[in-house]
């Protein structure tokens, strides 16, 4: 058996390039998959910590059934009734992205693992009027220059979160007597808190909103990782397939010499597993690099889209290593399955029958096309009948797979059409006929290219649509020319009086933390002014919406709150001071939190303690800069107190670009893998091409011309693949925008098309294919005539 195994392995010694292709393909596939998994694992571990912090370590909660906030009266009533509850306040600190959690340390259940007792901080300090903030070291560094209470560093906390005493949190958040939730001790007796305070409900501990919310994003990443993995497997399948084909005579000889089919299959299996383990280790090392490279961008995305904080550093777990190696082995076995099956099943003589590995029958191409069409039809049915995120991803999967299966037939059809549209001489006829002939051998690599291009166009269209909508939305939303934040109400009085003569309008921006639909959210008080009536980005509204808001008879809800709470126009939303109906819905991109707008008067009535120190100023845009300088000179305001519209827009767009940097990086990586798939296919096919090209050379076509045509063929195929990828990518974009995004982010975006981007991508695809085809073409152009003559000499 050792001798037989040695004979099998000798193939790789004779074909080092093929071995390198196989290892590279599998390593790349493993790298992208395991890199994405490492990121997901890191983020999930982070959510678990966050969920622990936010939910009180998996303890049951008591909340209001209508999604509104509780009050300290509810807490007192329950404690008096013997319920072991502890109050919790959650919210985002105004003007920052700090998530503040207020606890009551004396009643907090031990199991909550929150508060000062678990980390050595002195309880008296925590309870002083000045108070303390427990924060992660990263957060402590971020808060270094703020005038917030003193910080106590605790590495077990979630970055971006601060834990403090409930009274201090309520004060900082302006929540007055509101309580977000009441945590129940584990030994609490079963019962209905609604019997003590009507409207209260007991909620079982959940894994946290964050994990649920971000599931879609991680599913997205996983889908991308899987796509890249599948693209990588195309390379592996091509390399292993060719190796099996080239070793057919050797397999036949080994069988003839007495090696049983079972033993031969076992040896091939051992070989595949051995090679895949080798490639797996290499892939894991690459995957670590990919993950380390992408994690900061992913962290930015999660912060931007969901307000989730994930540390930007990577810690790897043993399960990651094992699963990475497992996927490498499984992928290689999947890719080698066809060859292994044939080696195990085919009778001895059949092994010797010549079979053009690269040539699939027309019947097979037709069968693939039919299967592809069936999958496309299934995608259509899913769009019409399915619902939810998984149906969305099901549509994406069937669409992509179906299109990939239809690709060879479609390219053959286009090549046939091209030969009729561009009739030429003998060489031209041969070129198109030979292009069709080469398709089966190149189809896996071209499918990989199609998937990569479609993903690029689909995701690119989504991101660009998002960018375009977001920019337009920013223009509407940031209508004021200057935004002003004052230090206190005294300053506000003097500045307002001064501004009254110098501005067209002063629009107060008042906001308070509230509980909306059971989640921490925010309520804004807005003035009744044409600035809002004319510019606010409404999605749907009653005709009287602004009048209702101004009169305190209704609220406007942001889209994500409207969708997640399953509201309709007219639905009542619980707010401090009484519920109000939804009279309109507006788009609010990039905000992960529920938000509502009410009129200024209603706001002041319901939140009398909240100071109004932020304003939007309407002035002639050409005068904004001068007004800023005057304000600074007259009142000694710091520069940070005044932000002009363009600066906010620039900052928002910068955050936006960073948010989608990870998608762009994955796009480029997937395209790179597709280019390597093409290169590997061409290199493995190069040996098979010589017998087909040598007669043409003998008939008078120069090597350089033949090489040029080989290069041109790949460029043409890449361009045709791109042509087919455009409609597929647009279909993908539609599914992402109309199905997946609505489920994932809670908002629906209009789809915009960007033909210039497609052209750029097409040029990039042709360039990538050209680069991949360049080396084999150069090799052919410089091939020694003796190599070509050998084709004829081998005939005997």
One of 695, 750, 760, 787 touching other proteins (CB under 8 A): 695
β partners of residue 616: 483, 507
β partners of residue 586: 538, 558
Using CB under 8 A as the binding rule, whether residue 14 contacts other proteins is answered as no
Closest distance to other proteins from the beta carbon of 795 (Å): 4
Cα–Cα distances in angstroms (integers) from residue 202 to residues 199, 350, 630, in the given order: 10, 70, 55
One of 61, 136, 303, 436 touching other proteins (CB under 8 A): 436
Q: What is the dihedral of CA 576, 582, 585, 591, to 10 degrees?
A: 20
Query: Please, which residue, 494 or 702, has the CB nearer to other proteins?
Result: 702
- What single DSSP character describes residue 189? P
Using CB under 8 A as the binding rule, whether residue 354 contacts other proteins is answered as no
Closest distance to other proteins from the beta carbon of 372 (Å): 24
> Which range of residues in 64-72, 134-142, 432-440, 555-563 is near other proteins by CB under 8 A?
432-440
Residues with Cβ within 8 Å of residue 541, at least 6 apart in sequence = 556, 569, 583, 584, 585
> Which range of residues in 134-142, 178-186, 428-436, 545-553 is near other proteins by CB under 8 A?
428-436
Closest distance to other proteins from the beta carbon of 283 (Å): 38
Using CB under 8 A as the binding rule, whether residue 434 contacts other proteins is answered as yes
Cα–Cα distances in angstroms (integers) from residue 501 to residues 73, 121, 506, 627, in the given order: 46, 52, 10, 12
Closest distance to other proteins from the beta carbon of 412 (Å): 11
> Which range of residues in 115-123, 376-384, 434-442, 746-754 is near other proteins by CB under 8 A?
434-442
Helix axes 16-55, 261-306, angle to 10 degrees: 40
Query: Please, which residue, 49 or 436, has the CB nearer to other proteins?
Result: 436
One of 575, 696, 717, 772 touching other proteins (CB under 8 A): 696
Total residues contacting other proteins (rule CB under 8 A)?
Answer: 30
Closest distance to other proteins from the beta carbon of 692 (Å): 7
Encoded tokens for 623? 């005068």
Encoded tokens for 296? 């900061």
Using CB under 8 A as the binding rule, whether residue 756 contacts other proteins is answered as no
- For the chain, state the CA radius of gyration: 32
One of 190, 318, 700, 755 touching other proteins (CB under 8 A): 700
> Which range of residues in 386-394, 403-411, 485-493, 700-708 is near other proteins by CB under 8 A?
700-708
Using CB under 8 A as the binding rule, whether residue 222 contacts other proteins is answered as no
Using CB under 8 A as the binding rule, whether residue 789 contacts other proteins is answered as yes
Closest distance to other proteins from the beta carbon of 783 (Å): 12
Annotate 525-560 with DSSP letters as a single string.
EE---HHHHHHS-EEEE-TTHHHHHHTTS-EEEEHH
- What single DSSP character describes residue 691? H
Query: Please, which residue, 304 or 441, has the CB nearer to other proteins?
Result: 441
Phi, psi of 153, deg, nearest 5: -85, 135
Helical residues (DSSP H) of 574-644, grouped into ranges:
600-606, 624-635
CB atoms within 10 A of CB 202: 17
One of 120, 124, 190, 425 touching other proteins (CB under 8 A): 425
Query: Please, which residue, 72 or 692, has the CB nearer to other proteins?
Result: 692
Encoded tokens for 452? 């990569």
Q: In what order do the strands lie in the sheet with 200-203?
A: 151-153, 133-135, 161-165, 99-103, 85-92, 181-184, 61-64, 200-203
- What single DSSP character describes residue 81? T
Using CB under 8 A as the binding rule, whether residue 639 contacts other proteins is answered as no
One of 19, 451, 694, 707 touching other proteins (CB under 8 A): 694
Residues that bind other proteins (CB under 8 A): 425-427, 429-430, 433-434, 436-437, 691-692, 694-704, 785-786, 788-789, 792-793, 795-796
């Amino acid at each position: 058996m050792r001798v037989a195994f040695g004979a099998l392995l000798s193939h790789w010694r004779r074909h080092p390039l093929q071995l390198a292709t196989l290892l590279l393909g599998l390593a790349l596939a493993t790298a992208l998959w395991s890199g994405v998994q490492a990121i997901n694992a890191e983020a999930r571990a982070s959510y678990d910590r966050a969920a622990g912090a936010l939910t009180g370590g998996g303890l049951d909660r008591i909340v209001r059934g209508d999604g509104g906030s509780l009050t300290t009266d509810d807490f007192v009533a329950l404690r008096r009734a013997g319920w072991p509850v502890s109050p919790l306040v959650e919210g985002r600190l105004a003007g920052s992205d700090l998530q503040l959690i207020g606890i009551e340390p004396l009643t907090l259940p031990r199991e909550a693992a929150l508060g000062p007792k678990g980390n050595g901080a002195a309880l008296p300090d925590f309870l002083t009027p000045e108070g303390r903030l427990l924060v992660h070291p990263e957060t402590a560094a971020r808060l270094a220059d703020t005038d917030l209470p003193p910080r106590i560093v605790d590495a077990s906390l979630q970055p971006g979160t601060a834990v403090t005493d409930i009274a201090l949190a309520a004060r900082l958040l302006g929540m007055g007597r509101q309580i977000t939730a009441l945590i129940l001790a584990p030994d609490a007796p079963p019962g209905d808190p609604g019997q003590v305070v009507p409207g209260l409900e007991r909620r079982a501990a959940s894994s946290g909103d964050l994990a649920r919310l971000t599931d879609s994003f991680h599913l997205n990443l996983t889908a991308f990782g899987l796509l890249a993995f599948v693209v990588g497997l195309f390379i592996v399948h091509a390399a292993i397939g060719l190796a099996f084909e080239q070793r057919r005579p050797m397999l036949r000889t080994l069988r003839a010499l007495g090696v049983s089919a079972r033993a031969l299959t076992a040896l091939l299996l051992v070989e595949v597993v051995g090679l895949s383990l080798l490639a797996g280790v290499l892939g894991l090392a690459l995957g670590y690099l990919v993950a380390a490279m992408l994690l900061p961008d992913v962290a930015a995305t999660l912060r931007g889209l969901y307000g989730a904080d994930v540390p930007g550093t990577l810690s790897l777990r043993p399960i990651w290593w094992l699963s990475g190696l497992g996927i490498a082995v499984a992928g290689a076995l999947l890719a080698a399955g066809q060859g292994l099956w044939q080696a195990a099943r085919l009778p001895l003589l059949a092994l010797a029958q010549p079979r053009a590995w690269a040539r699939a029958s027309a019947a097979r191409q037709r069968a693939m096309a039919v299967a592809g069409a069936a999958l496309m039809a299934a995608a259509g049915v899913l769009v019409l009948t399915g619902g939810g995120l998984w149906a969305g991803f099901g549509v994406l999967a069937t669409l992509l797979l179906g299109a990939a299966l239809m690709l060879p037939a479609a390219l053959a059809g286009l090549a046939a059409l091209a030969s009729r549209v561009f009739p030429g001489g003998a060489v031209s006829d041969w070129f198109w006929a030979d292009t069709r002939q080469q398709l089966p051998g190149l189809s896996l690599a071209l499918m990989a290219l199609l998937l990569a291009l479609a993903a690029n166009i689909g995701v690119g269209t989504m991101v660009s649509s998002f960018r375009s909508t977001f920019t337009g939305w920013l223009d509407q939303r940031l209508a004021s020319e200057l935004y002003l934040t004052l230090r206190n109400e005294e300053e506000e009085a003097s500045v307002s009086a001064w501004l009254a003569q110098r501005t067209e309008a002063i629009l107060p921006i008042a906001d308070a933390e509230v509980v909306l639909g059971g989640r921490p959210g925010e309520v804004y008080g807005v003035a009744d002014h044409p600035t809002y009536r004319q510019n606010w980005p409404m999605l749907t509204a009653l005709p009287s919406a602004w009048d209702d808001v101004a009169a305190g008879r209704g609220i406007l809800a942001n889209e994500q709150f409207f969708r997640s709470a399953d509201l309709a126009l007219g639905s009542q939303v619980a707010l401090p001071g009484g519920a109000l109906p939804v009279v309109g819905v507006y788009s609010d991109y990039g905000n992960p939190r529920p938000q509502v707008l009410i009129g200024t008067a209603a706001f002041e009535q319901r939140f009398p303690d909240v100071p109004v120190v932020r304003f939007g100023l309407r002035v002639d845009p050409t005068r904004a800069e001068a007004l800023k300088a005057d304000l600074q000179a007259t009142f000694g305001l710091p520069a940070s107190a005044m932000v002009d519209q363009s600066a906010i827009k620039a900052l928002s767009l910068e955050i936006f670009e960073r948010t989608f940097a990870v998608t762009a990086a994955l796009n480029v990586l997937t395209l790179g893998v597709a280019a390597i798939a093409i290169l590997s296919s061409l290199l493995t096919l190069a040996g098979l091409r010589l017998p087909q090209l040598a007669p043409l050379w003998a008939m008078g076509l120069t090597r350089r011309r033949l090489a040029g045509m080989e290069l041109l063929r790949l460029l043409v195929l890449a361009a045709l693949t791109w042509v087919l990828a455009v409609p597929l990518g647009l279909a993908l974009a539609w599914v992402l925008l109309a199905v997946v995004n609505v489920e994932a982010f809670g908002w629906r975006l209009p789809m915009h098309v960007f033909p210039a981007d497609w052209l750029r991508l097409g040029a990039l695809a042709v360039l990538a294919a050209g680069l991949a085809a360049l080396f084999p073409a150069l090799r052919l152009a410089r091939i020694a005539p003796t190599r070509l003559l050998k084709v004829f000499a081998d005939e005997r």
